Amino acid sequence: MIFCLTLSGVDWALTRDVVSILGTVSTIVLAAIGLTTWRRQLQGTSEYALATNALHLAYEVQQLLQEVRSPMLFLRKEEVEAGNRIQEEQNIYGERMNAVHMKWAELQTIRLKARVIWQAPAHHCFEGLHKIIAEIRAAIWYHFWLKGAYGGPGAEIDRNPERLQENNEIIYRMAEDDAFSKKIDAAVSQVEEFFSAKVRRTWLSRQPH
């Protein structure tokens, strides 16, 4: 009897309002938590993709640079017989360097995006690769200058043996671990040092605890 009187004394209209308000507040709180989590996941996914793309493109540039240095040149017989051997060699090196420049252009886009998120250090870690590309380009120019590709009749050509040897060590990859290969690897390592930590950190943050 007492129990029934207690229930009959409840203001059900007020109770429904309170429950409704609590439900609305709970929904808002849960939605806010969900939105925050989604934003963090989205940011983590974007940064993870950016870091992995940076590493992947750096490895591709590394591979293309070594392909430029391959001593194997497949010259067209008709061009050689026509006296265009040097031009044919230039075409081959030109195609190889164009592949490097196209991939470097892709990497530059990633480089700029990375700078937006991680500031100057993300930009500077690519400088080693940039210098390597410039060094190979200059070595190729000197290589063909020595062959008389750019000098007219009577042009004096510096054939200093030491300089020629140094240039050949850049142009030609004669071993897996030659001096210039190590220089390329060191440039790629600068990219690895910066972005590998970003990849690991983002990957770990996405694992269930």
Model confidence pLDDT, tens digit, residues 200-209: 765 545 555 5
What span, in angstroms and rounded, lies between the C-alpha atoms of 157 and 136? 20
Residues making up the chain, counted from first to last: 209
The average pLDDT across 26-34 equals: 45
What span, in angstroms and rounded, lies between the C-alpha atoms of 66 and 173? 7
Task: Give percent above pLDDT 90 in the chain.
Answer: 49
Does some domain include residue 7? no
Does some domain include residue 2? no
Q: How confident is the model at residue 38 (pLDDT cuts 50, 70, 90)?
A: very low
**Please, are residues 36 and 72 in contact by the beta-carbon 8 Å criterion?**
no
The average pLDDT across 154-179 equals: 85
Q: How confident is the model at residue 151 (pLDDT cuts 50, 70, 90)?
A: low
Q: How confident is the model at residue 24 (pLDDT cuts 50, 70, 90)?
A: low
Cβ neighbours of residue 186 closer than 8 Å, sequence gap 6 or more: 128
Does some domain include residue 53? yes
Does some domain include residue 206? no
Alpha helices in 119-160 (DSSP H): 120-124, 127-146
Does some domain include residue 36? no
Cβ neighbours of residue 178 closer than 8 Å, sequence gap 6 or more: 169
Comparing 12 with 165, the larger pLDDT belongs to 165
Model confidence pLDDT, tens digit, residues 57-69: 999 999 999 999 9
Does some domain include residue 78? yes
Q: Where in the sequence is the domain holding 94, given as residue range(s)? A: 49-150+157-200
Place of tokens 């120019």: 141
Domain count, the chain: 1
Does some domain include residue 180? yes
Which 3 state secondary structure label does DSSP give 172? coil
What span, in angstroms and rounded, lies between the C-alpha atoms of 20 and 114? 47
Does some domain include residue 174? yes
